[in-house]
Structure 1
């Protein structure tokens, strides 16, 4: 397997650096001696304290520069490119969340479409070695064929969030074609782990348990046809990104797409039972969630399942952290961070 390893002499721009994936990627790059410029608008879509905690852990690194700003402000982006001349750009800034996009469409267009356009324009005028950007497994919509492969037809998104991510892929392809920008899109599959996003189900379930409230499960209580999710542990996501950074696409159009998923979908109920067990271990007492079953929500899909063959072929890596291991690390962190012992 021939692929180039990380180059610590390059300058990396990470957008969304106070976010879940942005924080972990920035930390890993900094630990390897890279110069990282982080930008984030630190919005209040979820608990801002968690974002500040992540940033506090990046501050001690000498080679970390943080800029509070928004990628939807073109001037801010151009100034960063002019001043720091990043070699490699990782665009992780985006308004996340499928359900939130149904109620608040404006913020998705601002951040995910206009913001990404500004990143592309900056890469056009200040050429970079590689632009890596976050797409999402949501682009597969309600595809019936599984596992999802990068060559699948993805023209039927079922949420505005998914539409914005699909548009990112199209925009990046066009800019690669017209302006020779080497670009790689990453379709992430349900990322979880310590210091994760509180709007994600596993985090919300844990919050509800400690608030003595029931958890809502949107599968109609149908255990035979339960929702399946390809849950991917944060370390696996970061490892996949890191391996791709120094390996831009080649060929006539320098644009590629990769799934980063666990290639091992779990029933939602299995995931919930595993979380109960992991919290029981962390707390040294039995934990059981009170459960309320409701119909599936608009924009949700029945199953996500990543084929990771392309990623493995390109950089010799396949995510493999089990939900037992990943959720135990989350549970231990949660109990410690929120002092729930």
Structure 2
């Protein structure tokens, strides 16, 4: 991602609500929230090198923790959010210390079990979470500095700010020493350990950062949807995030955002086949893996190189 891409992205995304309908603003907000969650999965897939089917658990923990703090203790959104994020990071650190010693299918299965445990707790702890009925009537964030978030457009801009700040922070991270060490561990753990990189610490740090970003998406879900229920945090949600990353481009930061937009609007266009959405996600994943392993971003880069090559040949 070059230096002009992020400011241009901000300008375009900030201008869109002014020229589209209210329903399109809803879809844009949904896309932005999915993009935040997909970014967290992109960090795990592209920079830690693990497939995490339990990523949705961090989203669920943040969403329920922040909402319960607001509903049961009267905290404002702005006080509940950092507490919920701290809880998510703490749980991610504990889970990471246990699971990141595992590799391949063992890590995948344990994280899948972790996500299912979280979902079952939410579904069965009725005294706290209201069980399958979920938490309803979740209010938008309270006004801050005189800015109200009651309207769909205002909430969209809040979500967009969270996405842009997350993107900028992750961009700085992957270019830092920590980011380079994460890539080194992903590529060859034995060699990374040989040159003195603390492998376990780097993996846990990466998982905690990804959980924090996933939590950012989680704390926005409640106020956006006004309802939280266990059915929103199933295995398919983690799979959707993986598909978004793969479709957009693994190992990039722009890829998850492109994938989130693609997989928000394509099902919308195919709303008549909503019951077949899991099948469609599987088909998309197979097609992209076979014919565009570097995702949409890889196709765009290849097209750009082709145009540049033709321009040079024509001179």
Q: TM-score, normalised by structure 2?
A: 0.29
Please state which structure has a larger fraction of its residues in strand. 1
Task: Please report the TM-score for the alignment, with normalisation by the length of structure 1.
Answer: 0.27
Structure ranking higher in helix proportion: 2
